[in-house]
Every structure is written in structure tokens, then in C-alpha cells.
Amino acid sequence: MFSNVLIYFVIIPLLMLGGFFLCRDIKQIRAVAVVGSTALLALSIWLLVDYLGLRAAGATAPMLYCDSWTWFAPLHINLAVGVDGISIAMLILSSIIVFAGSFASWKIDDARHFFMWLLLLSTGVFGFFISIDLFTMFMFYEVALIPMYLLIGVWGTGRKEYSAMKLTLMLMGGSAFLMLSLIGIYYHSAADSSQLTWNILEIAANGAITTEWQYFLFPMCFVGFGVLGAMFPFHTWSPDGHACAPTAVSMLHAGVLMKLGGYGCFRVAMYLMPQAANDLAWIFLILTGISVVYGAFSACVQTDLKYINAYSSVSHCGMVLFAILMINTTAMTGAIMQMLSHGLMTALFFALIGMIYGRTHTRDIRLMGGLMQIMPFLGVGYVIAGMASLGLPGLSGFVAEMTIFVGSFEHADMFHRVFTIVACSSIVITAVYILRVVGKLLFGPVQDEHHRSLTDATWWERLSTITLIVSVAAIGCFPNFFESLIKFTFSPELFHAIGM
């Protein structure tokens, strides 16, 4: 079991959990957090290099590093792992954000328990991305959800009890639908009832789910994951949750956890039930189209920095689901790029907002101004994040959104065209709210004289910020690399099954 590299993505966070338990003071806790998250980052980069090496050497299996260990034999439940380019991209994203998040929480209260819950959350996230067994995937998915309740409830700000409860209940509500559809998939996973399986690859290869059952199971599955992907009208947990969460949690949640939704929609709902996905895509296209535009408009009228960014996340994550539903290679590649891009960029946003809030003790943009003069480092970081968000070439947002809209426009019919254009318009609205905030917050006159005495970023904050900025720029400058990483994984069967 321990010879498989993937399992260490779960073992390292668990070891860190144990490590925090033994720590005596804050220094040791920080040390464990830094060492552990660096190890995760190193591991994911090594995995990337090794994966590309294997692909270059001619490995053609859809998933590499596959392994399966029996767990509950009578129910055919295995602990099955395996990754393709998309999972690796997600693993790298998660480890970058865990790394940056550890530094962003340098001064948190009650650090031991904070990091323990944070790492439990990370365990769930990493476990989800390496699993190819529906049961373990779902288990890790839920493991990632529940620590949010305590992280927001205990360490959050504002209306934290309300937000934490709302977030948890809505996400668990989604997972109720999800659970039913996963069990349904299991019972239709093979034509022969003794061959039932939870393994995604085997289910896809069997292709035994009849069209009627797909119609029944697909909406539940898509909505189940879609709740976490902040799909309209199930997005309402997201602004409240993000606004009240502590910095690292917002980063991890908007950066990684919301990607679980998109990834799940893609990997489970679309991949296993392609026929229903093709036929029912229009319903969800409408909903995600609304998410994209509605999120952007909502962000325009907010005055709380975190709310602005949370609604912006609704819009951007809506774009991910929107692109997945286009069901063609270009748009789907764009969707994965958007996941990466939005994950990094929004984490950067939330990190900076947390740092600014830690100094000014307000997140209301009407009460702040001229921060560029006072804290130039944070200011520049914010501008970069903003530019990535509104899609400036050279940064990640441009690459992702460009690919998505090119892909969407490949559909020649009226319905898709209209929705593509509508979704496209969100780019303009994004520019409005980003520039409004940047202008007001960073370049306007100083609103509060007390702010003049504030200091710029400390070294750990700089480290956290720079890591994210470098990653955002890397995607923007080397899109081909990421595209080639992702592209191979669009296994032909998916499209073959629906006759494309």
C-alpha cells in the first residue's frame, strides 16, 4: 500500500495532524505546518514531473499510478487511487494553496486546533482528488466539508455562527443528493449484478447505466456537486461563508474546495453519464449562465471586500461548470484551466484581503483608500490579482476564459451562441467591479488617518503572496504546458459515447 506515491497525499496531512497534537508551542506548530506543506508541494511537483515523464515514455492508460486495495469486500468498496493530468493539476493547486495558507495563518489564535482542522480539510481535499472509487471519493468529499463548520464558527468573523451553519447545511444538502445518485450509479454500474463496482474507470468501461437511469441520476449528481461549485440557485452559502471565514480557510475553500464541485461534475456526473449530460446540459447551462452574470453583477454592488470576491467566485466558478457543459475538448480544457486559474487567483485575493483586514480592521471599501501609498506590496499584489481576474493577457485568467469562450463558440446553434455571448459579457462586468475596488481602495485619497501608520507585509505574508503570484503568472505565460498536461486526459470514450 505504501509503495504507491499517491497515498502519501493523504498520509502527510494525517502525519501533520498527529504532529500538531504533539507540539508544545507555536514555533513547533509553525515548523510542522511549514515542513508538511512544503513536503506536499514538493511531492506534487515531483508527481507532475514523473507523470510527464511516463506520458512521454508512451504510457497511454487513462489514469496512471492506479492501485486498488480492498476495503469492504462484500460491498465491492475499494480504496482505489489513480491520477490523470487533471487530477495532478488539482493536486498541485491544492498543495500550493495549503502552502500559502499555512503562511497566511502565521499569527492565528489557538493555532494547534486551527491547523488540525485545516489539515483534516486538506486530507479530504487531497483524498478526493486521488480517488477513483466513488465511495472513497464521496467519503473524502464529506471529510473536507465538516471542518469548515468549526473553522468558520470558531475562528471566523462577523455573523460566523449563521454563516457556518448555512454553509455546512447547504453543502451537506448537496451531498445528500450526491449520495443517492452515487448509490444509484453503483447499482447500475454493470450489467451483471455480481460485477457491480464503485470504480470510475470500470463503470465508464462497462457503460451499463441505461439512458432512463442516467436521466434520473445525472441531475442529482450534477446538482450535488454543483452546490459546492456555487451553481445558481444553490450558491447562497458561498458569499456568507467566505465573508465570515478566516483567511486561510477562505483561501482553501474558494481556491480548492469549490473546485471539488467542478471536478466532481466533470469526473463523475459527465464522465459516467455522458448521454444524460448531453441531453440535459441545456438546463444546467441556463443555471450556470445565470451564475456567471448574476455573480458578476452582485459583486458590483457589494462594499465588503470579501463579499465582492465571493460573488466574483460565484461568477468564475459558474464559468467552470458552464464550460464543462459545452462538452467539447476546447471548452473543457478551458474549464480545467479556469479551475486552476480561479483557485490561485482567488486564494491570492483572499490572502490579501485577510492581510489588509488584519491591519485596517475593516473590509468596507468606503472606509478605506489610498492603501497603495501605505502598503505598496499588498497594493501591488491586489492589482495583480485584479488583473488576473478581469483577464489581462499574461496572467492566468485570460488564458482560461479565452479557451472557454472559443470552445463555447464552436457550437453553432442559437441557444449556445446566445448563452456564450451572455456569459462573455461578464468579463466586462468583472472589469467594472475590479477597477472600482482597485481605484477606491488603492488609489483614492486616504480615508482614515489612522491607516497612515500601518505597516506593509511581513516576510511570511510576502512569501504567501509571492507563491501565489508566481503561480498565476506561470499559467498565464506557459499555457501550452498546462494545456498539454490536461489535454491528454480527455479520454476519447467520453465523446465517443455521445457520438461527438
Q: Does 187 bind another protein (CB under 8 A)?
A: yes
Distance CA(203)–CA(207), nearest Å, equals: 6
**Could you give the C-alpha distances from 471 to 61, 95, 361, 387, 466, in angstroms and in order?**
29, 12, 28, 14, 8
When binding is defined by CB under 8 A, the residue of 71, 357, 377, 443 that contacts another protein is 71
Region binding another protein by CB under 8 A among candidate stretches 33-41, 101-109, 152-160, 458-466: 152-160
Q: Does 142 bind another protein (CB under 8 A)?
A: yes
C-alpha closest to that of 420 among 244, 312, 236, 292: 292
Distance CA(282)–CA(297), nearest Å, equals: 22
Window 211 to 230, contacts with another protein (CB under 8 A): 216
Could you please report the per-residue DSSP string of 106-125? Answer: TT-TTHHHHHHHHHHHHHHH
Distance CA(412)–CA(498), nearest Å, equals: 18
Distance CA(398)–CA(194), nearest Å, equals: 49
DSSP SS3 for 71: strand
When binding is defined by CB under 8 A, the residue of 96, 150, 273, 305 that contacts another protein is 150
Q: Does 176 bind another protein (CB under 8 A)?
A: yes
CB of 71 to another protein, least distance (A): 6
CB of 253 to another protein, least distance (A): 17
Window 73 to 112, contacts with another protein (CB under 8 A): 73-75
Of residues 216 and 495, the one with the C-beta less far from another protein: 216
Of residues 172 and 498, the one with the C-beta less far from another protein: 172
The C-alpha cell that represents 157 in the structure block: 468573523
CB of 421 to another protein, least distance (A): 37
Could you tell me how many residues of this chain bind another protein (CB under 8 A)? 33
Of residues 213 and 488, the one with the C-beta less far from another protein: 213
Alpha helices per DSSP H over 57-194: 85-104, 111-130, 134-155, 160-187
Q: Which residues, other chains included, contact 460 with Cβ-Cβ below 8 Å and sequence gap of 6+?
A: 103, 104, 106
Of residues 72 and 478, the one with the C-beta less far from another protein: 72
Cβ pair 120, 367 in contact under 8 A: no
Region binding another protein by CB under 8 A among candidate stretches 29-37, 72-80, 265-273, 420-428: 72-80
Q: Does 23 bind another protein (CB under 8 A)?
A: no
How many CA atoms within 13 Å lie on the side-chain side of 132?
24
Q: Output Rg (C-alpha) for the chain, integer angstroms.
A: 22
- Here's the x/- map for another protein, 314-353, by CB under 8 A: it reads as ----------------------------------------
DSSP SS3 for 72: strand
- Here's the x/- map for another protein, 366-405, by CB under 8 A: it reads as ----------------------------------------
When binding is defined by CB under 8 A, the residue of 28, 39, 52, 173 that contacts another protein is 173
Region binding another protein by CB under 8 A among candidate stretches 19-27, 183-191, 369-377, 426-434: 183-191
Q: Does 15 bind another protein (CB under 8 A)?
A: no
When binding is defined by CB under 8 A, the residue of 125, 164, 231, 365 that contacts another protein is 164
Q: Does 179 bind another protein (CB under 8 A)?
A: yes
Q: Does 153 bind another protein (CB under 8 A)?
A: yes
CB of 241 to another protein, least distance (A): 14
CB of 167 to another protein, least distance (A): 11
Q: Does 146 bind another protein (CB under 8 A)?
A: yes
Distance CA(305)–CA(362), nearest Å, equals: 9
C-alpha closest to that of 388 among 354, 355, 347, 357: 347
Of residues 72 and 481, the one with the C-beta less far from another protein: 72
Distance CA(390)–CA(388), nearest Å, equals: 6
Distance CA(370)–CA(71), nearest Å, equals: 58
Q: What angle, 0 to 180 degrees and rounded to 10, lies between the N-to-C axes of helices 134-155 and 111-130?
A: 160
Other beta carbons within 10 angstroms of residue 472's beta carbon come to: 26
C-alpha closest to that of 237 among 340, 289, 314, 153: 314
Prior bond of 233 cis (ω within 30°): yes
Region binding another protein by CB under 8 A among candidate stretches 92-100, 141-149, 305-313, 392-400: 141-149
Of residues 217 and 390, the one with the C-beta less far from another protein: 217
CB of 210 to another protein, least distance (A): 13
Region binding another protein by CB under 8 A among candidate stretches 60-68, 159-167, 232-240, 245-253: 159-167
Cβ pair 291, 315 in contact under 8 A: yes
Q: Does 135 bind another protein (CB under 8 A)?
A: yes
Q: E strands within 5-55?
A: none
* Binding residues vs another protein (CB under 8 A): 71-75, 135, 139-140, 142-143, 146, 149-150, 153-154, 160-161, 164-165, 168-169, 172-173, 176-177, 179-180, 183-184, 186-187, 193, 216
